Amino acid sequence: MNQELACDGNLLLRYDRPGPRYTSYPAAPNFGPHFNEAMLREYIRRSNEEPIPRPLSLYLHIPYCMSPCFYCGCNRIITRDRSQGSRYVERLIREIGLAGPLFDPDRDVMQIHFGGGTPNFLRGSDLAAVIESLQRHFYFSKAVDRDFSIELDPRHVSRDDVALYAELGFNRVSLGVQDFDPKVQQAVNRIQSVEETLDVIDTCRRHRFRSINVDLIYGLPHQSVEGFTTTLDTVIERRPDRLAIYGYAHMPQLFKAQRRIDAAHLPNAEQRIALLSTAIEKLTEAGYIYIGMDHFALPEDDLAHAYANGTLQRNFMGYTTHGDCDLLGLGVSAISHIGDSFSQNARDLTTWEIALDQGRLPVWRGRHLDQDDQVRGDVIQQIMCRRSIDIASIERRHDIDFDRYFADALARLQPLVEDGLVLLERMRVSVSSRGRLLLRIIAMCFDRYSNGPSIDATAHYSKAL
Amino acid sequence: MNDATGRRPRGGIADDGDEFHFCSTCAFSAACLESGYDKTHLRDLHVLVEHIGPFREGEHIFREGDPFTAIAAVRSGTVKTYVTDNEGREHVQGFFLPGEVIGLNAISQARYPSNAVAMDSVVLCRFSFPNIAALATRMPGLQQQLFKLLSQDIGKAALLSGNFSADERMAAFLITLSRRYAARGFSANRFLLTMTRTDIANYLRLAPETISRVFRRFQDEGMIQVERREIEITDRKHLETLAENVLRTA
């Protein structure tokens, strides 16, 4: 086990508390219902009027899955009827047609991400129709570093499917793996063979995808260090460009699917740390760079470059090299980040469908980011993406006196400083190597909507580790 | 956010005056003080100095053809003036920053020859024109200031009439804005661009995409830094050189 982590085990446990994942600040539970379609349209109009309007990032949510994985906390619909996907795509195309013309034509799309659910639930022809519609209503960037990515469930991907994705312009894929251990797979209702998974990876390589990501999860029922080590070895052998090691958050009160998981079979906190540290150790040995939170990347991957040169950003899709874009979310429950606003589409399918059938953008809730939100959002971005706060840059950008403005936050940070998780220097607050697994706990000190890491945020958020 | 949380005021908003002090951006304070008048004296002279607003974004302050009664100094915010042609197309005539005076071009005609609209939250200081003109006959400094304002207003129109490249026009636009902010005590090298790119494009007779392309090129060449609506001039000399031809004509 990783030496440093081993001796810090107790410390980590002490700070293993619930907190937002900071894919946005303020986090989504702070969005309000007063935000409506007219406001979204106005934010888009304003975003067109900036001196250099931002390029665009599009997120498309495909909510369907063939079968329920019991660990899942996503918004999804379980069915084997692919024609439901075709009907969904009809409406999605309607939404694209409504939203596209609101953006000025010189705003290139730099990033497209299909998430879910399971985007490859869609028939190839349906997916192609969505891309065609996007091309009709938006202008795709021709830059080499544009990211067009799709999340795939390798259990339902054929070699022909991969060929189609490449042909449609996708250059990044993200594969769900979780764990190859049969006992774990049984317990989470996701039986996925090593062979079919590796075949998808190899096929993507043959089609020269720029970047392949693999998602693993630690903290699943029956998971053991031995079994997880085998999974890690198998995956690392194929050298995916990126790896995400998510911690399973057991919150059955929030996510119905998780009620099928017997809490008695879950690893305890010590075992979770052992699983995580095994992963960190193996990935580090294999040459992966720790990007932050749950993400690792090979040194030559764009994400590692962005981390190294300080341009890494975090948004609803996790870590990204295109955080300077305005983000438009399309599909049920999708979240947008346009200018100084966040907004989210209706979370249930019927409401989303009715809005589109009436020719309305299906906005459900959102919020305007005031200056305080912007300052804190900036600070939290720096913590999550660079593991340090450059005080001078914050003061300059937001016209504040950092020490005065954040007097409360710095007081809340004090115990973390004493525990060696955070270092206070002149004009810099930095996260120590012991603190790097607790980024969200550190960020919470700067969150106006949380009272610091001591508050019980169990109702909404998963634990840090 | 308020002061208690440590925020310093952002550039672009005037300090408010009170009973005994002028607003820091007042268009007339220097002239009045020079002539030995302060604000209390002005009150005694029954000059109407009236703070009006705030006008919300998009709200009209006056419209083309309205009878001319007053000129107004911008206290905070930005005002755009424009006319509409027979085809209904809008033509932007100018932008007015804190401390600058709107309505001057109406003096000769007794009616406002253009529309004035608030581009953000705008507060004005309104002067009854007959009264301030009468006062000017007794205050040589004030009269000079009025003449100066009138000639500047004419000069502004000349700024864009020549046959200059997009780069030259943009450079001149930025340098002019910078000088105008500096003249009112704001930062010369870092300011918010309160106008939309559509309005800038209209004003400079360029396409909106051209505006952004030029901004991006200036940024790539190290002359400016653009962060959302905030502009920072990082190589003033280069930008001034580029603006030279236009500004010489103006």
Q: Which residues contact A440 (CB under 8 A, 6 or more apart)?
A: A19, A20, A21, A22, A293, A384, A464
Q: How far apart are CA B34 and CA A290, in angstroms?
A: 66
- Identify the closest residue of chain A to B217 by CA–CA distance: A52
pLDDT at B17 over 60: no
In one-letter notation, the amino acid at residue B8 is R
- Helices A83-99 and A124-137 cross at an angle (nearest 10°) of 0
C-alpha span between A68 and A78 (Å, rounded): 6
- A51–B212 C-beta distance less than 8 A: yes
Instruction: Verify that B181 and B62 share a domain, yes or no.
Output: no
Instruction: Indicate whether B135 and B175 sit together in one domain.
Output: no
Best mutation target among B228, B231, B232, B234 (most A Cβ atoms within 10 Å) is: B228
| Longest Cα separation, chain A | 60
One domain, residues B145 and B172: no
Q: What average pLDDT score do residues B37-53 get? A: 64
The phi and psi torsions of A85 (rounded to 5 degrees) equal -65, -40
**Phi, psi (deg, nearest 5) at residue A110:** -95, -20
CA pair distance A18, A6, nearest whole angstrom: 22
Rounded to a whole number, what is the distance in angstroms from the first to the last CA of chain B?
Answer: 41
Q: What is the pLDDT of residue B248?
A: 81
Q: What percentage of chain B carries pLDDT values higher than 70?
A: 75
Q: In whole angstroms, what is the distance from residue B194 CA to residue B196 CA?
A: 7
CATH number of the domain at B112, please. 2.60.120.10
Q: Give a yes or no: residue B220 inside a domain.
A: yes
Summarised one tens digit per residue, pLDDT across range A56-100 is: 999 999 999 999 999 998 878 999 999 999 999 999 999 999 999
Q: Are residues B85 and B129 in the same domain?
A: yes
* A29/A449 Cα distance (integer angstroms): 10
What local confidence, expressed as pLDDT, does residue B5 receive?
Answer: 37
Q: DSSP assignment of A357-384, as one string?
A: HTT---EEEEEE--HHHHHHHHHHHHHH
- Paired tokens of A49: 């009027």
Over range A330-335, report the average pLDDT. Answer: 97
**pLDDT, mean of residues A436-453:** 86
CA-to-CA distance for B127 and A449, rounded, in angstroms? 46
- Helices and strands in chain A, H and E counts: 16, 20
Residue B12 has pLDDT above 50, yes or no: no
Q: pTM (2 decimals)? A: 0.89
Domain membership flag for residue B11: yes
Residues 6+ apart with CB under 8 A from B68: B103, B106, B107, B109, B110, B111, B112, B129
A226-261 b/e (C-beta count within 10 Å ≥ 16 → b): ebbbebbeebbeeebbbbbbbbbbbbeeebebbeeb
Record: fold of A1-23+370-465: Arc Repressor Mutant, subunit A (1.10.10)
Is B134 an 8 Å CB contact of chain A?
no
Residues of B in contact with A371 (CB under 8 A): 1, 7
Nearest CB to A52; choose among B9, B10, B215: B215
pLDDT at B244 over 80: yes
Looking at residue B67, what is its pLDDT? Answer: 92
- Looking at the structure of chain B, the number of domains it has is 2
Long-range (24+ apart) CB contacts under 8 A made by A394-397 are: A397/B227
Assigned token pair, A461? 């958020």
The tens digit of pLDDT for each residue in A112-158 reads: 999 999 999 999 999 999 999 999 999 999 998 899 999 999 999 99
Cα-to-chain-centroid distance, residue A418: 31
Is B159 inside a domain boundary? no
A306-313 — which CB contacts under 8 Å span 24+ positions?
A: A307/A385, A307/A386, A310/A386, A312/A385, A312/A386, A313/A381, A313/A385
Vertex A130: Cα angle to A128 and A132 (nearest 5) = 70
If asked whether residues B13 and B64 sit together in one domain, one would say yes
CA–CA min distance A373, chain B (Å): 10
Q: Among A227-236, A316-325, B161-170, whose mean pLDDT is lowest?
A: B161-170
Instruction: Tell the residue number behind the tokens 């606003």, with chain if given.
Output: A341
Is some CB atom of chain B closer than 8 A to the CB atom of A52?
yes
Cβ atoms of residues A347 and A364 within 8 Å: yes
Question: Same domain, yes or no, for B7 and B128?
Answer: yes
Model pLDDT, residue B104? 84
Res. A202: pLDDT tops 50: yes
On whether both B109 and B130 belong to a single domain, the answer is yes
Q: A50–B228: do the CB atoms touch at under 8 Å?
A: yes
- How many whole angstroms separate alpha carbon A43 and alpha carbon A27? 19
pLDDT at A4 over 70: no
**Are B111 and B25 in the same domain?**
yes
Same domain assignment for residues B175 and B86? no
The answer to the question of residue B158 being in a domain is: no
B96 lies in which domain range?
3-153
Q: A162-176, A196-210, A417-431, B103-117: lowest mean pLDDT where? A: B103-117
CA gap B195, A413 in Å, rounded: 40
pLDDT at A453 > cutoff 60: no
What's the pLDDT band for B35 if we cut at 50, 70, 90? low
Residue B11 shares a structural domain with residue B123: yes
Q: Which of A43, A44, A45, A50 to mutate to test the interface with B (most CBs of B within 10 A)?
A: A50
Q: Do B6 and A399 touch (CB under 8 A)?
A: no
Rounded to the nearest 10 degrees, how much is the dihedral formed by the CA atoms of A409, A415, A420, A422?
Answer: 0
State the DSSP string of A176-226.
Answer: EEE---HHHHHHHT----HHHHHHHHHHHHHTT-SEEEEEEEES-TT--HH
Task: Please check whether residue A324 touches B, CB under 8 A.
Answer: no
Instruction: Encode pLDDT of A358-406 as tens digits.
Output: 999 999 999 999 999 999 999 999 999 999 999 999 999 999 999 999 9
Joined tokens for residue B72? 């107004």
Residues B125 and B199 in one domain: no
Examine the pLDDT at B225 and tell me if it is beyond 50: yes
Of the candidates B18, B21, B24, B48, the residue with the CA atom closest to the CA atom of residue B128: B48
B193 near A CB under 8 A: yes
pLDDT number for residue A422:
96
CB pair distance less than 8 Å for B231 and A48: no
Instruction: Using a CB–CB cutoff of 8 Å, tell me whether A167 touches chain B.
Output: no
- Rounded to 5 degrees, φ, ψ at B230 are -90, 130
ipTM of the modeled complex: 0.83
Of B180, B149, B160, the closest CA to residue B245 belongs to B160
Contacts of A400 (CB under 8 A, 6+ apart): A375, A394, B6, B7, B8
- Kindly tell me if the per-residue pLDDT of A261 is higher than 60: yes
Which class would CATH give A24-330? alpha beta
* pLDDT > 90? residue A17: no
Per-residue pLDDT at B129: 81
CATH number of the domain enclosing B212: 1.10.10.10
Contacts of residue A312, defined as CB under 8 A and 6 or more positions apart, other chains included, come to A291, A292, A303, A306, A319, A320, A321, A323, A385, A386
Best B92, B194, B196 residue to mutate vs chain A (most A CBs within 10 Å): B196
Interface probe, candidates B1, B78, B214, B224, chain A, greatest A C-beta count within 10 A: B1
Who wins on pLDDT, A64 or B14?
A64
Query: Is pLDDT larger for residue A442 or for residue B46?
Result: A442
Q: What number is the average pLDDT over the span B154-158?
A: 55
User: Looking at residue A36, what is its pLDDT?
Assistant: 95
Tell me phi and psi for residue A121, to 5 degrees.
-65, -35
**φ and ψ of B110, to 5 deg:** 65, 0
Taking CB atoms and an 8 Å limit, are B197 and A53 in contact across chains? Answer: yes
Q: Residues B37, B120: one domain? A: yes
For residue B60, the model assigns a pLDDT of 96
With bands split at pLDDT 50, 70 and 90, how would you rate the model's confidence at A18? confident
Helix (H), strand (E) at residue B218: helix B208-220
Residue B146 — very low, low, confident or very high, per pLDDT cuts 50/70/90?
confident
The pLDDT value recorded for residue B20 is: 57
Closest CA to B145 of B35, B20, B12, B68: B35
DSSP A17-32: -B----SSSS-GGG-B
- For chain A, which residues make up each domain, given as ranges? 1-23+370-465, 24-330
| A360 and B CB contact within 8 Å | no
Percent pLDDT > 90 in chain B is 46
Q: Is the pLDDT of residue B99 over 50?
A: yes
**Residues A100, A138: contact at Cβ < 8 Å?**
yes
B2 has a chain A CB within 8 A of its CB: no
- Residue A90 DSSP symbol: H
